[in-house]
Structure 1
Amino acid sequence: MARYRFEALTYAGKSERGSVDGESVRAVRQALMAKQLVPVSIELETEWGKQRFWNKWFSENKPLSRADLTLITKQVAILVRSGVQIDETLSVLAEESSQAHVKAVLQAVVAELRAGLPLSKAIATQPLSFDPLYQGVVGAAEQSGKMGQVLTQLAEFLEKRQALKNKALGALAYPAMLTGVAFMIVLFLMTYVVPQIARVFQNTKQALPFSTRFILALSEFLMNWGWLLVIAMVGAVFYARRALANPEFRLKVDRVLLNFPLIGPLLLGFETARFANTMAMLVAANVPILTALHSARDTLNNTVLRAAIDSTEGRLREGTSLARALGSQGVFSPILIHLIRSGEASGKLAEMLKYGAENAELESEQKTKIFTSLLEPLLILLMGLMVLGIVMAVMQPILEMNSGVR
């Protein structure tokens, strides 16, 4: 029996909060209504602690990871297509799982199923593990009666989404490592090597060139006031996060990023692939086009593209076709718009959206290779120039001392 936190209203309109034990959300709701309380929200006790780092990532109460979700979706699809009931399927998977958090999530969903809720409503009680997109696809599968087929498509979609993210992160891994190594080398030189040599210059009373004086001053600043620089950097990150929380400022930043050379086309390619993949999967699951468009919009990170989808939804409600409404926004590639137009004309919209996603992924991979092929040597060059500058600034007065002795 799980413990739930609730917020409810009395018939007099007074708000009440508390905790109660129950077999499921439905059982807790019935118990509250029996006490003449109208439930506003009911959540598992663990969800109220989701902001806590330990609970979210290290305890058995943490949500399913994307890898967990993809594997479970595959397994459920196979068993359901084999004729096994959904509650029995999830119960078997929970018993076989060696991970405590997976077992806990699946058992909670099974409890809701056996309490009479459909699968889409049962997984909605675990919002940290099953996002609204997942819930919407499962709801569409229930209406169409093709649960096994839709879950198979959903598993493939989750795999592609994770693979796309891994490609983007993998492209940045080596440049990030180079940047980190360069930073550590420069920090070591400025806080250890340069101060040792500075003592030699103090004893000689030699007139030092500007580059040497600059490096020595910078080294002294880092030694004495480096902590202030760290605080300033943390403050800058905090301020940037606060600023990005402002919708207008975030929109301006995202627009600049989309128009930035090399980076803009790369971001647009990954976003387009994610959008088209999501739309293809939802349309194939017979999700209504407006619902599919709204769900696909929520997978986008760039607010400029989100605003374009919002405008597209408005034009669709007015009776415009998807291709014309999306093309009028002027942000997505003409190839994707052409494929959507062909899909609407031929009745194969899901298939054409899938082709559009594959094309966007291919273009993104090619642009990523170009970007990394330019970025990696540039970072190596910058790292070499920084180290060379420090070494030359330190060595120049030493060489002058040696020539003076001769």
Structure 2
Amino acid sequence: MPAKQLWHWQGIGSEGEACEGAQWAENRELLSSMLERRQIAPLRIKRLGVKAALWSTDKSAALIHQLATLLKAGLTLTEGLTLLAGQHPSRQWQALLQTLVSELEQGVPFSSTLAQWPQVFPPLYQAMIRTGELTGGLDTCCFELARQQEAQRQLAVKVRKALRYPLIILTMALLVVLAMLHFVLPEFAAIYSTFNTPLPALTQGIIALAAFSGRWGWLLLPIGATAALANRLLRRKPAWLIQRQRLLLRTPLVGRLMRGQKLTQIFTVLALTQNAGVAFVQGVESVRETLDCPYWSQLLTQVQRDISAGQPVWLALKNAGEFSPLCLQLVKTGEASGSLDTMLSSLARHHSESTLALADNLAALLEPALLIVTGVIIGTLVVAMYLPIFHLGDAMSGMG
């Protein structure tokens, strides 16, 4: 099926009134025929650019939450989407919502219309909407879906902030060190060279480091560019991504944060699909398709295969190797007692709370630690620059 394109049209309606709007269509000819069926004579058709940033999960989750609120208020699905299309500030979202309304008016199920837009609505959205259609609780499913997406967003932001802070501090410290080595230290070295007095070993070492950095420091640019290019090329290789993820998961603190975030996402979606009545294997499929990491997708594929072969859920998770004994015990208990959805919700809440606490603690510990490291580095440079002054003073006193 050809990719749909966004068009802006202007025309004349059946009663001679001027009208305009935005529409998704495969080509200009198909758009013209669509407008003619609506008794609109097109006068001007212009293709618009599509901003991929507007298809973010935040905007999709916000839309689903607004739609759930309108459904809870008594509006029909078509009326809710039409109302949202009229008040949305983005032209491409307006066109998308109008397209969904047109599909619904033709008798196409809502979940099927969403399946045509995987870049906007991931498979989890489609599965939850389909469950809501089957159970008659579309508003409830939309509310739960929006809540889960918001919780995942907050957790991801917290984890990224905890991991980003050390990089920012260390980068600033490196820039300060380079500035002192290349702009401040040479001035001091020029002054010290006029005196016939041996410099302290620390100062000699720092001067030698500055000279080496000034002579060969330019190599950092091609090395950095090569590393960035290599990383960009390797990101297209699933095997490399899998190995990198394994290495990161074995890294202290960082591995715990990343594992906690993924386990929170996995168990939250599984609990959501279980509460909505989706089969566990289909729930695992929904989780797997929402993950952007090949390593975890590979693990869930194995879990899905083991469950389909007749193994218990807890044993399939155990075979994956990345689930803690607590996860296995609670899942096993949930299977035996028939309360698997409750246990999955408890696991999702446990991993979310522990990961958030770990991120907060890591940020609280890293802040003073990084300040100490930065202070030691800069302090060493300052001492190395001013230490010869005291030696020169001693030498001049001895000469007197």
TM class, shorter-length: 0.7 to 0.9
Q: 1:29-72: CA deviations, max 9, x gaps?
A: xxxxxxxxxxxxxxxx77xx76xxxx434xxxx32x33322221
1:397 aligns with 2:388: yes
Show CA shifts across 1:367-402 (max 9, x none): 334433443332122111211221122222232222
Q: Which of 198, 217, 229 is the aligned partner of 2:220?
A: 229
Deviations 1:73-110 (A, max 9, x none): 11111222333221221110121223445434323433
Structure 2 letter corresponding to 1:22: L
Higher alpha-carbon deviation: 320-329 or 206-215: 206-215
Aligned match for 2:283, one of 292, 295, 313: 292
Q: Which residue of 2 aligns with 1:12?
A: none
Equivalent residue of 1:319, what SS?
Answer: coil
1:86 maps to a residue whose letter is L
1:74 corresponds to 2:82: no
The 1-side partners of 2:353 and 2:381 are apart by 42
Determine the structure 1 residue equivalent to 2:308.
Answer: 317
Q: 1:19 to 1:364 in 2, by over 3 A?
A: same
Alpha-carbon distance between aligned partners in 2 of 1:107 and 1:218, rounded to the nearest angstrom: 64
Q: Does 1:211 align with 2:213?
A: no
2:262 corresponds to 1:254: no
- The equivalent of 2:180 in structure 1 is 189
Q: Residue 22 of structure 1 corresponds to which residue in structure 2? A: 30
Corresponding residue for 2:42? Answer: none
Aligned equivalents of 1:305, 1:125: Cα separation in 2: 25
Structure 2 CA distance, aligned partners of 1:362 and 1:4? 42
The answer to whether the Cα contact below 8 Å between 2:291 and 2:297 also exists between their aligned partners in 1 is yes
Residue number among 39, 53, 56 corresponding to 2:52 in the alignment: 56
Q: Does 1:133 align with 2:121?
A: no
TM-score by length of 2: 0.80
After superposition, the CA RMSD in angstroms is 3.0
Amino acid paired to 1:230: L
The partner residue of 1:345 within 325, 336, 351 is 336
Per the alignment, residue 23 of structure 2 pairs with none
Query: Cα–Cα, structure 1 residues 216 and 23, in superposed 2: closer, same or farther, change >3 Å?
Result: same
Q: Deviations over 1:168-204 (max 9, x none)?
A: 1333354344324323322332232223223323434
Q: What does the per-residue CA deviation read over 1:318-373, in whole Å, with 9 as the maximum and x for residues that have no partner?
A: 11121221123332122222222233233332222111100111222333344334
In terms of mean alpha carbon deviation, does 248-257 or 266-275 score higher? 248-257
CA distance in 2, matches of 1:83, 1:214: 76
Q: Which moved more, 1:170-179 or 1:307-316?
A: 170-179
Once residues 316 and 81 of structure 2 are traced to their aligned partners in structure 1, the CA distance between those partners, rounded to angstroms, is: 41
The amino acid of 2:30's aligned partner reads G
Work out the CA distance in 1 between the residues paired with 2:351 and 2:84. 36
Provide the C-alpha distance between the structure 2 equivalents of 1:233 and 1:123, rounded to a whole number of angstroms.
42
Task: Tell me the residue number matched to 1:308.
Answer: 299
CA contact (8 A) 1:4 1:20 kept: no
Once residues 240 and 59 of structure 2 are traced to their aligned partners in structure 1, the CA distance between those partners, rounded to angstroms, is 36
Cα gap change, 1:328 to 1:211, in 2 (>3 Å): same
Partner of 1:364: 355
Q: Which runs of 5+ in 1 are unaligned?
A: 6-17, 29-44
Paired position in structure 1 for 2:374: 383
TM-score calculated relative to the size of structure 1: 0.79
Displacement of 1:307 in angstroms is 2.8
Measure, in 2, the Cα distance between the counterparts of 1:136 and 1:320: 24
* Mapped partners of 2:85, 2:250: distance in 1: 48
What is the CA–CA distance in structure 2 between the aligned matches of 1:230 and 1:205, rounded to whole Å? 38
Give deviations 1:252-286, integer Å, cap 9, x for gaps. 33222222233222322221111100111122222
Distance 1:228 1:109, change over 3 A: farther
Q: Which amino acid is the alignment partner of residue 52 of structure 2?
A: K
- Matching of residue 144 in structure 1 with residue 135 in structure 2: yes
Among 84, 89, 94, the alignment partner of 1:103 is 94
Call closer, same or farther: CA 1:98–1:252 in 2, change over 3 Å. Answer: closer
The residue type paired with residue 221 of structure 2 is: V
The separation in 1 between residues aligned to 2:136 and 2:58, in whole angstroms, is 26
Which of 150, 153, 156 is 1:162 aligned to?
153
Cα distance change on mapping 1:388 and 1:352 into 2, 3 Å: same
Q: Who is 1:270 aligned against?
A: 261
**Equivalent residue letter for 2:384:** A
- Percent of aligned positions with the same letter in both sequences? 28
CA distance in 2, matches of 1:210, 1:230: 30
AA aligned opposite 1:339 = L
Q: 1:116 and 1:219, CA in 2 relative to 1: closer, same or farther beyond 3 A? A: farther
Alignment of 1:167-186 (within 5 A): 167-172=158-163, 174-186=165-177
* Equivalent in the alignment of 2:74: 83
Contact 1:73-1:155 within 8 A present in 2 as well: yes
- Counterparts of 1:370 and 1:343 in 2: how far apart (Å)? 31
Could you say which residue in structure 2 is the equivalent of 1:241?
232
1:243–1:249 CA contact under 8 A, matched in 2: yes
**Conserved in 2, the CA contact under 8 Å of 1:91 and 1:110?**
yes
